[in-house]
Amino acid sequence: MAKKPTYRELEQRAKELEKEALKPKQAEDKEKQYIRELEFLSKTATEFVELSLEENIYQFIGKKLTELIGESIVIVNSFSGKSDGSCTRAIMGLGKRTEAIIRILGADPVGKTFKVEDEGIRALTSGKLHKIPGGIYRLTPDIPKAAFRAIEKLLALGDAYSMGFTWEGKLFGNAIILLRQGCELQNENIIETFMRQASVALQRKEAEEALRKAHDELEMRVDERTAELVKTNERLKREIEERKRAEEALREREAELETKTNSLEEVNTALRVLLKRRDEDKRELEEKVLVNVKELVVPFLEKVKNSQLDSRQVAYMDILESNLNDITSPFLRNLSAKYVSLTPTEIRVAHLINEGKTTKEVGEVMALSPRTIETHRRNMRKKFGIEKKRGNLRSHLSALQ
């Protein structure tokens, strides 16, 4: 006869049967949870793509993490590689306790920056969620432990987790998850997957911001260049207008000069006519004087010379006749103009020679010895440059008239 099971054995068997009965439901619940997680990731992936640059991506990440984790406090930070500093961008889950937290800290934690140690950076770039040893006291050395204890008590905090937003080896920030006392982190895999989604979104946002910044800088440079070109065009327009005015003034000046030139040519023509007329009047006057002397004076001189005169009176008459010839003849003017080096005595001797007087006759007229007259003749030949040339002095003097 089979041994009758004890009460404990029956109780253990009942529990095993109960577990066996729950397994299908657990599997079903697990499958539903998996589907919900896939739907969550699919939806957030689309929302990340559709998120505009103007929207706060850090608040969006904090909100989604809060939905995914449940009852918790989520802190989202950005990281600046230039200063090795972290800046708090969003805190989700505080609710009505936000003002109390601000009073404890003495300032709004959103926007506050703090130093990140190299050890912390290495942990954040691991790509995995890690539990923060020592709880929230290890978040930052800038806040006193007493403040952290007050916050921990106020929010009933338990374990703390952190994970960095990394993509292709670059750290963009991190998320800190503060659980309530007695709560455990259930879905670490889905959280890590979402964090990687967020990392890609942050990398895309940074690239788009860099692109927008480059675009804005390019537009600014284009605007500056356009403004510079506008100024240059305006300056060129002014220069062109000034050049046009200068050319117009030059044309007016040229026209004025042309008018003056024409006027001067007319004046010169009139002057040439007047000079020609003056020369004609001069020649006419000389001819009249010559005619009058020859007709009114010379006949009487001849009569006086033919009268009985002594030699001195004859000499005076000859001088008078010679002087009249000087007045009426252009010979002396030509002679003085061409040979300014002749002395007055040489000019008188040259005139008498040109009249056909011999050396002796010239000497008698001028009351000089023939030897002196010969000396004057040699000097004149030397000055005329004919001292070694053939031809007499009278022929050369005749050519001057």
180-212 pLDDT tens trace: 888 888 888 888 888 898 888 888 888 888 888
CA distance 299 to 333: 25
Q: Tens-digit pLDDT profile for the chain (401 aa)? A: 456 667 676 677 766 766 666 566 656 666 777 787 788 888 888 888 888 878 898 999 989 899 888 888 899 998 876 555 788 899 998 888 888 888 888 888 888 887 766 556 677 777 788 888 766 666 666 667 787 788 888 888 888 888 888 888 888 888 988 888 888 888 888 888 888 988 888 888 888 888 888 988 998 888 888 888 889 899 989 989 998 999 899 888 888 888 888 888 888 888 888 888 887 777 677 666 766 666 667 667 777 777 777 878 878 877 887 777 767 665 555 555 555 567 778 877 887 888 888 888 888 888 889 899 889 888 888 888 887 777 778 887 777 65
User: For residues 166 and 128, is the Cβ–Cβ distance under 8 A?
Assistant: no
What the block records as the tokens of 221 is 């440079």
pLDDT digits (tens, 9 = 90+) for 244-272: 999 899 888 888 888 888 888 888 888 88
Co-location of 198 and 322 in the same domain: no
Alpha carbon distance 128, 293 (integer Å) = 144
Amino acid identity for residue 15 in this structure: K
Provide the number of structural domains found in the chain.
2
Per DSSP bridges, beta strands 170-180 and 72-80 are: antiparallel
Quick check: pTM over 0.95?
no
Give the per-residue SS3 of the chain: CCCCCCHHHHHHHHHHHHHHHHHHHHHHHHHHHHHHHHHHHHHHHHHHHHCCCCCCHHHHHHHHHHHHHCCEEEEEEEEECCCCEEEEEEEECCHHHHHHHHHHHCCCCCCCEEECCHHHHHHHCCCCCEECCCHHHHCCCCCCHHHHHHHHHHHCEEEEEEEEEEECCEEEEEEEEEEECCCCCCCHHHHHHHHHHHHHHHHHHHHHHHHHHHHHHHHHHHHHHHHHHHHHHHHHHHHHHHHHHHHHHHHHHHHHHHHHHHHHHHHHHHHHHHHHHHHHHHHHHHHHHHHHHHHHHHHHHHHHHHCCCCHHHHHHHHHHHHHHHHHHCCHHHHHHHHCCCCCHHHHHHHHHHHCCCCHHHHHHHHCCCHHHHHHHHHHHHHHHCCCCCCCCHHHHHHCCC
62 found inside a domain: yes
Bridge partner residues of 82 (DSSP):
none
Distance in angstroms (rounded) separating the CA atoms of residues 31 and 25 = 10
Reference 77, options 92, 87, 67; nearest CA is 87
Question: Is residue 195 in a domain?
Answer: yes
Q: How far apart are CA 386 and CA 377, in angstroms?
A: 11
Residue 96 lies in a domain: yes
Distance (Å, whole) CA 347 – CA 354: 10
190 lies in some domain: yes
Q: Which domain holds residue 205?
A: 23-211
Long-range pairs for 143-146: beta carbons < 8 A, 24 or more residues apart: 143/105
Q: Are residues 315 and 206 in the same domain?
A: no
211, 233, 254 - which closes a domain: 211
- Give the residue from 211, 227, 248 where a domain finishes: 211
How would you write 288-301 as a 3-class SS string?
HHHHHHHHHHHHHH
Which residues neighbour 111 within 8 Å (Cβ) at sequence distance 6 or greater? Answer: 87, 88, 89
Angle at the Cα of 220 from the Cα atoms of 217 and 226, rounded to 5 degrees = 140
| 202 shares a domain with 56 | yes
**Last-in-domain residue among 166, 187, 211:** 211
Is 321 found in the same domain as 188? no
Mark whether 334 and 197 lie in a shared domain: no
- Asked whether residue 15 is domain-assigned, the answer is no
The encoded tokens of residue 92 equal: 């989700």
- Do 50 and 178 lie in one domain? The reply is yes
Q: What is the pLDDT of residues 28-56, one digit of tens each?
A: 666 777 787 788 888 888 888 888 878 89
Q: Is residue 253 part of a domain?
A: no
| CATH code of the domain in which 361 resides | 1.10.10
In a domain, 332, yes or no: yes
Q: Is the dihedral angle over the CA atoms 194, 197, 199, 202 positive or is it negative?
A: negative
Examine the domain organization and report whether 75 and 205 are in the same domain. yes
Please indicate, yes or no, if residue 222 is contained in any of the structural domains: no
CA gap 16, 10 in Å, rounded: 10
CATH number at 91 reads 3.30.450.40
